[in-house]
Structure 1
Amino acid sequence: MEIEQITCVPKTLSPEDQHRLEQQNSRLVSDFKASQLEKDARKHWDLFYKRNEARFFKDRHWTTREFRELLDNQTAGTKRVLLEIGCGVGNFIFPLIEEQLNFDIIACDLSSKAIEIVRSNKLYNEGYMRAFQVDITTEDVLNQVDANSVDIATLIFVLSAIHPDKFVTTLRVIHKVLKPGGVLLFRDYGLYDMAQLRFKAGHKISDNFYMRQDGTRSYYFSVEFFSNLCVEAGFEVVSNAYVHRRTVNKKENIDVPRIFIQAKIRKPP
């Protein structure tokens, strides 16, 4: 059973939670190590997908429920252009294809290994989709996607893997490829999520930014911080809130609380 609550209020930390966060500050990732993690970001994600292939993440069949914009204008004759940023192995795009939604799909990822797996999927069809490797923190994507050409862009558990110094730059690149009035659908890790609180000393890089064991990184967003990023990048914030979700199975004695943030932002018409 899943229990979900949407709110603008962050999690209230217990004394135990506060102690965990304080312990994380006792030993931070060194500046040299942090620099190496940034330099080797693509390598770590290539290794991640080489090791896990398509087995790690589940297909995201929840996206049309959470983002009703994906279902708009499906009977119109003209296909809309959907850009998925950080497509991984296609857990977002292939469920949309199975639902036969009317999109021309563009998919990109930092990892060339992930793109290789996407292209090998039996549902991959260059008649209505294309996938390519690119670093979305640069303007290289404009060599593949025209400015002002995308109706909907998605950023699902992707921005958190990017260095915070590049957040605004990344959002500005997305702003350029969106049509006026186009929307960016966003979901990512929320402040004080269970995964953030579980990090031990030696894994914290900077405020709310952490190194995982495999060398990939994760940032945990507050709604206020994300809204400020969006405004600085030139977007209008349509909606932005915490999603508190619990997966409960009393028979298996499982109670897993997660915190995400979910937002819809728009390039001004």
Structure 2
Amino acid sequence: MDDDVQLTTHNVRELTEEESSQLAMDTVLLTPFKRQKLEKEAKKNWDLFYKRNTTKFFKDRHWTTREFKELCSEDNKNSNVSSKRYMLEVGCGVGNAVFPLIEEGCQLYIYACDFSPRAIDFVKSNRLYDEAKCHAFVCDITCDDLTLSIPAATINIATLIFVLSAITPQKMSAAIANIGKVMATGGTLLFRDYGIYDHAMLRFSRGHKIDDNFYVRQDGTMAYFFSEEATRKLFIGEGFEVVTCEYVYRQTVNKKENLSVPRVFLQGKFKKL
């Protein structure tokens, strides 16, 4: 599978007639009981995900420094300790973004948290894990106070990369507000997640829809698909200024099978006011 050159735009992807019809017909939502059960069992479902897949499901995210120059520019790589900045990675998983940053010599002290205790255990067992460079801890960012683990107003860079989509929309504002408590004024929050009408959204069969743009996978984990407008409002409402916010379009191509899959992500940078 190969990706072609990505395109960034403010325009929503145009659906085919077949895709529009498919979405229009998917109107049956999960019952309130099933939805409450999913929310209640969210931590267990993610823990089971990492039990099944261990550290082998996600690839290391070496692309983050290409997309977000703030993370590791040549100017701050391997610089003096006195210039070290503080970073928070929310939803760190097994460290697929943390450890590439450490390997590249980025001058960051990284706080890394995740919903899943098993994921944090994998992070701490990695040969590159060093408390002098990073600190990993379990946290539900929708309700656990981050200031209990990180001094208030100290984080220069926070990342939300394919994390917010796993949270029920009603709790997203609380999560962002929680992150804001530990961010320094002028700090940058880097965001990337699934965009509306991404191929993954269109693959859901009937019976998996929780709400508008919100679905549940077979393993019980949830996935929300973001529009640019809603995302801007979400961050502005929690004290952030929009620096950039736009769709990223990629085309995943399988030449052997002659398949072309449209991927849509939403990417943004938000400044803490």
1:151 aligns with 2:151: no
1:175-209 per-residue CA deviation (whole Å, 9 max, x = no partner) reads 11100000100000000000101111110001101
Q: What letter is aligned with 2:83?
A: T
Structure 1 window deviating more from structure 2 (123-132 vs 151-160): it is 123-132
Q: CA RMSD in A?
A: 1.2
User: Take 2:143 and 2:241, find their aligned partners in 1: how far apart are those partners?
Assistant: 22
User: Take 1:113 and 1:20, find their aligned partners in 2: how far apart are those partners?
Assistant: 37
Q: Give the structure 2 partner of residue 32 of structure 1.
A: 33
1:63-83 per-residue CA deviation (whole Å, 9 max, x = no partner) reads 000001112451354210011
1:212-249 per-residue CA deviation (whole Å, 9 max, x = no partner) reads 00000000000110000011111000000000001224
2:196–2:213 Cα contact (<8 Å) kept = yes
- How many residue pairs align between the two structures? 267
Q: What letter is aligned with 1:211?
A: V
Q: Give the C-alpha shift of residue 138 in structure 1.
A: 1.7
1:190 aligns with 2:195: yes
Q: 2:234 aligns with which of 229, 236, 239?
A: 229
1:1-269 → structure 2 map (5 Å cutoff): 1-3=2-4, 4-25=6-27, 27-72=28-73, 73-74=75-76, 75=79, 77-268=82-273
User: Take 1:54 and 1:24, find their aligned partners in 2: how far apart are those partners?
Assistant: 34
Question: What is the DSSP-based 3-state SS (H/G/I as helix, E as strand, rest coil) of the residue aligned with 2:87?
Answer: strand
User: Take 1:32 and 1:249, find their aligned partners in 2: how far apart are those partners?
Assistant: 40
Q: What letter is aligned with 1:42?
A: K
1:76-115 per-residue CA deviation (whole Å, 9 max, x = no partner) reads 5421001100000001111111111111111000000100
User: Take 1:230 and 1:28, find their aligned partners in 2: how far apart are those partners?
Assistant: 27
Q: Give the C-alpha shift of residue 142 in structure 1.
A: 1.4
1:238–1:265 Cα contact (<8 Å) kept = yes
Q: What residue ranges of structure 1 are gaps of 5+ in the alignment?
A: none
Q: Give the C-alpha shift of residue 57 in structure 1.
A: 0.7
1:227–1:240 Cα contact (<8 Å) kept = yes
1:111-151 per-residue CA deviation (whole Å, 9 max, x = no partner) reads 00100011111111111111000100124221101110101
User: Take 1:7 and 1:50, find their aligned partners in 2: how far apart are those partners?
Assistant: 38
User: Take 2:63 and 2:119, find their aligned partners in 1: how far apart are those partners?
Assistant: 21
Q: Give the C-alpha shift of residue 252 in structure 1.
A: 4.5
**Structure 1 length normalisation: TM-score?**
0.96
User: Take 1:41 and 1:234, find their aligned partners in 2: how far apart are those partners?
Assistant: 27
Q: Give the C-alpha shift of residue 266 in structure 1.
A: 0.5
Question: What is the DSSP-based 3-state SS (H/G/I as helix, E as strand, rest coil) of the residue aligned with 2:56?
Answer: coil
Q: What letter is aligned with 2:10?
A: C
User: Take 1:54 and 1:43, find their aligned partners in 2: how far apart are those partners?
Assistant: 17
User: Take 2:43 and 2:254, find their aligned partners in 1: how far apart are those partners?
Assistant: 37
2:146–2:181 Cα contact (<8 Å) kept = no
1:24–1:203 Cα contact (<8 Å) kept = no
1:24–1:199 Cα contact (<8 Å) kept = no
Q: What residue ranges of structure 2 are gaps of 5+ in the alignment?
A: none
Question: What is the DSSP-based 3-state SS (H/G/I as helix, E as strand, rest coil) of the residue aligned with 2:83?
Answer: coil
User: Take 2:98 and 2:37, find their aligned partners in 1: how far apart are those partners?
Assistant: 32
Q: Give the C-alpha shift of residue 255 in structure 1.
A: 1.9
Question: What is the DSSP-based 3-state SS (H/G/I as helix, E as strand, rest coil) of the residue aligned with 2:145?
Answer: helix
Structure 1 window deviating more from structure 2 (213-222 vs 119-128): it is 119-128
Q: Give the C-alpha shift of residue 2 in structure 1.
A: 2.3
1:21-76 per-residue CA deviation (whole Å, 9 max, x = no partner) reads 12321x32111000000111101000000110111111111000000111245135
User: Take 1:113 and 1:254, find their aligned partners in 2: how far apart are those partners?
Assistant: 36
Question: What is the DSSP-based 3-state SS (H/G/I as helix, E as strand, rest coil) of the residue aligned with 2:153?
Answer: coil
2:3–2:252 Cα contact (<8 Å) kept = yes
User: Take 1:23 and 1:120, find their aligned partners in 2: how far apart are those partners?
Assistant: 47
**Structure 2 length normalisation: TM-score?**
0.95
